[in-house]
Structure 1
């Protein structure tokens, strides 16, 4: 009996030791801000999560603060009197003046959930200047659910400010529509260059600058646009956008000479009312996959005079809209009069966007000489101006297809013959006209070793053998061409990602998972995976599959994993999440096609 209790006590102590110190330590989690720093509307300020007494930083759920555009800014740890402290830092955007209340957030530490205290930050309204103005406009104030509209923000800077060196600095934009949750936010296709130093509500923007006269005054106009896609029907208000900026107001004598003095100013636009209508369910045609707005389609082919089986390059242009990512490659085999008359290549080049059109290139081959044209290709969309579904068609492309003759062995030998009275029998055309009877043949003898050594025979067998070796080298080189390597990369994307996920250890699971998810999108769609953000992955999946819900879930998992990696814990990421990611990869494979 004594041995039993000794063993029981040993097991108990061992179990408690494995549970770790977090189960017994007094853990305190709180939120803080820097009360001494001046915070202005549209400006950023630091928000600190302080974790005392834990052996790890924990996982912070920042979703309650999404309207403040939280951005992870790092973490640090200190040890004092054997007590460890972790501080996780986020940058938040002040969205309004006055006592701005920051609600509590949840932090998971050692498997337990803690709630921080709410904090209040005093936000000042900056001064106004007549030398800066902000305006906001949309392409349509009445639209449908899922219809892309373009929101453009324009910031005017008076030329007097630009005459002073560093007269304008530390500007920060706030566009509430980007973070309201009422819209999907996308880039406008084919405009501008992404600049790392211009970020709006956590999003990189495309922007342009130009010298203008605005309301009779000379200056520079900074403008940027984003595509907004309404998620639900109803009346929606786009809140006023603002820009907070430091402007030079004078100078003073400093240690190193004259130094500029700055004050913080703000410019604010007006708000915009949007009426979002639901799509009608009646008369929805087959082939509609969500295009809303105004679209057109055209096609061209080269060459148009071919033999049966010759390759024809078919170029399809679909567009006429500022937002083209949802436009899919037409399914040619579903086009009336196409599947039975043409064969399509499995190798397809990536679509390119040029001059407001998305361009697809495909190789096709006519099956017979009866084919006279490439039939019209349809594109189904909802015309928001007319309020009804429309099917646009490309023009039919005439073809001149010539028949080819199949030559059989019998045709080549020409065994069919006719009688003749000439000294040599006359046969119909064919190589059998040169056949002789066996008694006319003379045994000349043949030695393989002599043939190999003979110069004449050597050239006879060496040349074909050399050609064979060259063909092998060409084939091997072709297998390693960029096109082939890209195709292999795409085919192996899902297998590689799932292999990484199933072989991942529990420790560091969040980082492994988000890396595999990012790597899969990069490999599957021939992109640089290391630079892909969760938002960009969502856009790619939605554009290639047409499934916005699947794309949103994929992004949400990546966001959770990144937050978990930043905070140093993986409490909410377990095997069930990995299984779901594997399922989502399988769904993307099925819906994205080749």
Structure 2
């Protein structure tokens, strides 16, 4: 971000030198080299070049020194504000069989608290499933560092040598990428599961040889309560190719997928090889939902013992088999709203079974010393949607922004893990302090009631600060001091002026006052260039202004949060989403149908889950607008919050390429 300004400043200097700017100075700015040796060479050669022209003009030489100083300040600022982010990718093995799974681990680490959430793109020749994530955040002496580990299970679709491409993401206008990983997929071993398929020509037994099923562990649940959707593929004949699975539409649900499992089991008196996929669902609103059928395409042997003496035996043996498309039945689920009775004031929507713990990173501190408070919510449920517990008001402490870390596991038949919130608090007065009032509320569907967890007070001994350091907020309370009279007036001593005897150009204030106009000139240059660019690029102008325009519609919707204005409210929500997508993609909002939105956002690598939620929200808007009905304020508020979250998610995904 500093390179354009640096080039502009050097161009001004070059004009002053009548075009005789040294080559090393140009290379320093136009190239990628920026180290101590390059800076030293740049300073020396630039000054020599300048001295050729203004050898006897000391005043102009000082101005040149100030210009170089401003450039170096810009380089220093670029180094100070750059954040050290590292990303790595690794696999558990570089050679796997076609019937095995590849474990892919991606780790992002750096000195920041808001590390991005990685969305894995489609990888050719593999089907990817999320296997969980873990995150660790630490705050040491006010410096935040964190790391996020994403785990994926990749199921190979073909044999051969493949390359998992470099996975890239953007973070604060910088692009980071992993290294490519080479993998070889070989044929299944003779002892693997594929060998258990029926041999060619084996006699068929009673019952089906290949079929699929879909089921849920419960047909009635509360909003945000976990529902386990299970897809099973049964077979007892040989497959001639890996099957292609197409999941159903899970609109109206948050989803957490899991890696598939392969095992053998008896079903209706026959032994089958079974491939099983579990999807954990969390409903976003009450109502009746129908999960569409899942489909599976595969190629199987088209062979029977009756053909053994016929010519068709050889035709079937050497043919590509018979293609089959299997389809499950739709599944209907009824979602109940959370009860109103007994709802705690601090309840934010968490459903499941949770525990709460808290700790301080130290037992003793001094006034104005930072102390890290860690609140950890752990258990089973929709961990991602857990909101930050509201901290009580502690008048003797100053609180700073909270950072969170997330750990998710899916290996026990449910979504479990923890979410940790770390807040830096600073004691302002000495003494023995008790941090009380820490709590967290959630709804337990197994017990059918709300539960509020309360923690005992945390103790912290605060010592006075260093000598000469006045504690903040140290004035006495108004109730303990009474003002009697203003009979004492403090004497004001004359200010002392210190004469500066050194050269004027070495005075810090002189340097600052000379740099400020230079920075102002640079700011004016960038502002004019930016406006010219927007005036000539309508697509860019719409792209950059999309968020602000959407926020205006959301603000309008917030003012219409009333049961009597539900139609106008849902119209504003619909306009916010449609206009935002249209501006980001430089299209007309009038032609954005559900199919068009799905196609556009899919090409922009927006996750299918996010697209489904967008289509669901727009469908709700159309339903209320064109079929007027009474909608509760609670439902409208949730729709408003969903729209805001969607725009935030799209803002990260629809960046200008």
Shared fold by TM > 0.5?
no
Larger Rg, first or second structure (1 or 2): 1
Q: TM-score, normalised by structure 2?
A: 0.39
**Structure with a larger share of its residues in strand:** 1
- Whose RCO is larger (CA < 8 A, sep 6+)? 1
